[in-house]
Structure 1
Amino acid sequence: MSSASLAVAARPHPEAARVVALSAAIALNLAALLILTRPLAPQVLALMHKLAAVPQVTFIEPPPKVPPPPAIELKPLPHPPAAPVHVQPRPDVAPPVATPSVEGTQPMPTVAPPSATPADTTTPVEATLAYRSAPLQFPAQALRQHLQGTVLLRVLVDENGAPVQVEVEHGSGYAVLDRSAREQVLAHWRFQPAMVNGHAVRAWARVPVSFVLHDL
């Protein structure tokens, strides 16, 4: 026998090798499947028991709707009849008749004497009032310019003797003296209030204010 024939006889048959390989693969797959499924069997059984123990849900139908009560119509109460009002007629009164006097003439009506009315204190009166003056302050500008003169003021005095308004009735010829006299009388002078029927009233009074240099 030649060497070629021996080589052919020693090579295995291809069908037998394929069968052996497939058998080995199937055996390996079965072994792996058994290994994987064996520990999962208790878990699958427990899950099936839990699914079987789920309680059934029963749906309760809502109660039927109750219709609303019928509307009640409110009727107004009848008003009681008004009681009749009896008006008594007014008796006729005869006009008074004047009784003639002995001489046959009508009596003269009695006239009451006029009552004394209080004096109107809203309108100030004109009066000559006593006053208490404060020491006169000579304006500095008038001293520098050697100005002097007399200012005649018209002063409105209230019921308490305080001046409330001062007007220049006749000026001194110098505005600085007129302004100083008005301000000093309004701020510092006091008067005796005018009296009418025993009541103090507002009054206008005239007072002179003299600025003389030799008096300093």
Structure 2
Amino acid sequence: MTVPFPPTEPPPSEWALGHLRPTEGEDLVAAGADLAPGTLLSAYRAGLFPMGLGDHGTRPIGWWSPEPRGVLLPGDFRERRSLTKSRARFEVRVDTAFSDVMRRCADPEREGRWITDEVVTAYTEMHRLGWAHSIETWRDGELVGGLYGIAIGGLFAGESMFHSVRDASKVALAALVDIVGADGDERRIIDVQWSTEHLERLGVVEWPRRRYLEALGEALTAPDLDFG
């Protein structure tokens, strides 16, 4: 599939997610709505992302704005020598196996899985429109790691990653950092939603929600990221 650049703007959403305001101390902002492209774009532009409230991510759809928020600035990425060496052992591709990456991230054997068939369908449509992207790591012609997310202006909102070979997802993240930081525009940010100890070792920091929303406003004014 050829991904359009710049992305195609879909019809606006019938849901006013952009007007919602988070409650102090709460990550969950709202429940309901749909996963239409216009709804998803409105949500990400307002600092929200979807994750189902039912078993394994099923409906109803929850709309989340974490407090605090996990953020990676390209210049803060910590690439150790071992990761630099690992890069040479993988082939990195962009947007060649988007649905496959999503399916691997949605593996029912994974603990805490939340990516449903509905989510795969919705984000595959976002990919078709040019808003969703995958960074993939391959070895000997086999997909062994990757990540996917939504790109709007200078924002890359990471959704999930997977690996079946050691360091494969880290190499995908390093490649994403290269793309986001390519032009040195300091407005660009990578949103990882909730931070973890693993991500913190790679340079992810936690920001108060207010700071994230302010930085998001700046990121959205930056030129679209080029995944070509």
Question: TM-score, normalised on structure 2?
Answer: 0.20
Question: Greater CA radius of gyration, 1 or 2?
Answer: 1
Higher relative contact order (CA 8 A, sep 6+): 2
Question: TM-score, normalised on structure 1?
Answer: 0.21
Q: In proportion to residue count, which structure has more strand?
A: 2
